[in-house]
Amino acid sequence: MIQNNPALRFPLLLATLLALSACATAPTQQGALVVGQQAALEGEVVSVDTNPWAYDGNAVVTLSTIEAGTVSVQLPARWNLCKAQPLGDVQALKPRDRVQVVGTATAPNEMVVCGQPEDRLRKRE
């Protein structure tokens, strides 16, 4: 009956498309980082805390990203044990600087830059 009645086909098609579009949701921000996997993000520096380096802890650069929301980037104190190339002057980073980071996700909102030769944290020009 619907196949033979064009007046009913359009509203049915429209209703079907609306129902399907309601099912298509944007990926959650936490979905951008998969624990144990390499990730590459770009974002804006929120804060830089290098104080933990004084007691062999990880420095933390907090980023605001589109892909994963707020992300804590861990920078080990014992950089000589890392496979990644040495970082530039981390203490020169300041809030609102744009950066690119490549590292391994260690939690849904955390990554560490160290384990792979391609890992990095660098300021974007």
Confidence band of 10 (pLDDT split at 50, 70, 90): low
Q: Which residue has the higher pLDDT, 4 or 74?
A: 74
Confidence band of 7 (pLDDT split at 50, 70, 90): low
Confidence band of 115 (pLDDT split at 50, 70, 90): very high
CATH classification of 27-123 is 2.40.50.1010, yes or no? yes
The phi-psi region of residue 36 (left if phi > 0; otherwise alpha if psi is between -120 and 50; otherwise beta) is left
pLDDT at residue 123, as a whole number? 92
Q: Which residue has the higher pLDDT, 85 or 1?
A: 85
Q: What is the distance between the alpha carbons of residues 9 and 122, in angstroms, rounded to a whole number?
A: 55
Residue listed under structure tokens 């998969």: 34
This prediction has a pTM of 0.73
